[in-house]
Structure 1
């Protein structure tokens, strides 16, 4: 009997972890203001340097919203937008966007081979780790670890963020140290190839 109860408790706990702490329906009600920049459902931002929010991971997105609200990750365009949202509101927003489908773009064929080699194998000569190790070979990310899904993300945004990590401009968050170390070893041309490859990955 004890084993049965333990199994039920474990199963419920794992289900809760899989689904996260947010309510997507509640999050949708607060997402209207986000659509002005990130597009309906977070899938089609109005500018390539704005991220797609759809399907990137509830835990990751929640952490970013917390950092943005606290001012640890300054984003001028979002100043004040999260001030009146509770912690649960942020979880709900993250859950809503995580349930939306990522729209994958078309990568530049001329850069795919180099981008794929870097994403899957890194660069042994310069010590760049393979992106696939944390973000998965398919670009689906790692939700329990809070590593975002990258497949389909806009190339402009990915390139901008890699440069921000490399230059020390993006230093907030649990995984920032990892990303800053990886990005510090990337050249501009490698960043361009990686960002392009990710934009078409599915």
Structure 2
């Protein structure tokens, strides 16, 4: 026969865990997730750039999403502002249509604020992308052209990129992007 006191404590413990989890979820830190573009967030100059953005953990109500793209020199090259309706406990999605921009390195920053009072709710992490001319050469063309470049892959995969552990890059995607930039393995 089971001890009724143990059963009561067990139920209480499970209930306490459920309440704690619900409270943690209710106070979850707001998150801005920007969809990764393959390969390696690199676009061709002819590509119309767009990113799918997901907002989570925001309080319900009207919010204003502001996005800025700056170039390597810190100059703003594109910006937008959109009002969105955030529903309690749901993720909100939107698409940023940046369009075509010239070759270069860019950073996208997104901020979300309450529409009513302008109070800051969330800011995205650093998100970079590049725009370039694509060059695809065969190994033979690379060797005949005298290009001097080699891709070492031992520091890209698991256990992580040596300068940003525990980040692990998708090796196939890195090689694909490198090839499209005309930087094939030449040995």
| Fold agreement, TM-score > 0.5 | no
Larger Rg: 2
Q: What's the TM-score once normalised by structure 2's chain length?
A: 0.29
Structure having the larger proportion of residues in helix? 1
Higher percent of residues as strand:
2
**TM-score, normalised to structure 1's length?**
0.28
